[in-house]
Amino acid sequence: KQEVTQIPAALSVPEGENLVLNCSFTDSAIYNLQWFRQDPGKGLTSLLLIQSSQREQTSGRLNASLDKSSGRSTLYIAASQPGDSATYLCAVRRVNTDKLIFGTGTRLQVFP
């Protein structure tokens, strides 16, 4: 059974800091891994999607890496801003299945 864990569960930092959010999964037989952002009471916004054959993806100040063999992904946020405050979720999709298995999330607060 695939289990996805995110560390830390919560993070509070001053703006300007560079951040690393961690995601680990127990079964390396994945199709892809996705990072999402969720604002309170809202749906999910897809940030980055990494296919199993890729090692990283970048979008603006965000960079996500994937190490499938060790069952880990990291989301790097450069020069954090208060607008980055949200919950960040990673989700893995196993091979031969449609299902996304979500992590436990990291609640990020960036204060001015």
Partner 1 sequence: GAVVSQHPSRVICKSGTSVKIECRSLDFQATTMFWYRQFPKQSLMLMATSNEGSKATYEQGVEKDKFLINHASLTLSTLTVTSAHPEDSSFYICSARAGTSGGRQYFGPGTRLTVT
CA distances for 31 relative to 21, 100, 104, 108, angstroms: 21, 10, 20, 27
60 binds partner 1 (CB under 8 A): no
Tell me the three-class secondary structure of 15-32, residue by residue: CCCCEEEEEEECCCCEEE
| Sheet-wide strand order for 56-59 | 4-7, 19-25, 72-77, 62-67, 56-59
Q: Among 17, 59, 99, 111, which residue interacts with partner 1 (rule: CB under 8 A)?
A: 99
In this chain, which stretch among 11-19, 41-49, 60-68, 70-78 interacts with partner 1, using CB under 8 A?
A: 41-49
Q: Among 11, 56, 76, 102, which residue interacts with partner 1 (rule: CB under 8 A)?
A: 102
71 binds partner 1 (CB under 8 A): no
11 binds partner 1 (CB under 8 A): no
Cα–Cα dist 45/90, whole Å: 11
46 binds partner 1 (CB under 8 A): yes
- Note the residues at the interface with partner 1 (CB under 8 A): 31, 34, 36, 41-46, 49, 89, 91, 98-100, 102-105
